[in-house]
Amino acid sequence: MVRVQDMARPPLKTVGKPVRASAEEVRENARSRSAIMRIAERTAAPWREIDA
């Protein structure tokens, strides 16, 4: 069993809520329908290397 304190901390945390395109933007640009902007803040946790 993995304990919470043994789990790796994430290097980023989300800030606020995701922002979606407005109705006006979707009217002008149909591809913006699927766009979601998310904002993240760097934490003190180290970055992990990605195995390729």
Taking the CA atoms of the chain, what radius of gyration do you get in angstroms? Answer: 17
- Note the pTM of the prediction, 2 decimals: 0.54
Is residue 52 in a domain? no
> C-alpha distances in angstroms, 23 versus 18, 28, 31, 35, 41?
16, 9, 12, 12, 28
pLDDT at 49: 72
- Long-range residue pairs from 29-32, CB within 8 A, at least 24 positions apart, any chain: none
Is residue 19 in a domain? yes
The sign of the CA dihedral 38, 42, 43, 49 is: positive
Range of the domain at 32: 9-42
The sign of the CA dihedral 32, 25, 38, 41 is: positive
**1-49 pLDDT per residue, tens:** 778 777 777 888 989 999 999 999 999 999 999 999 999 998 888 877 7
Task: Specify the number of domains making up the chain.
Answer: 1
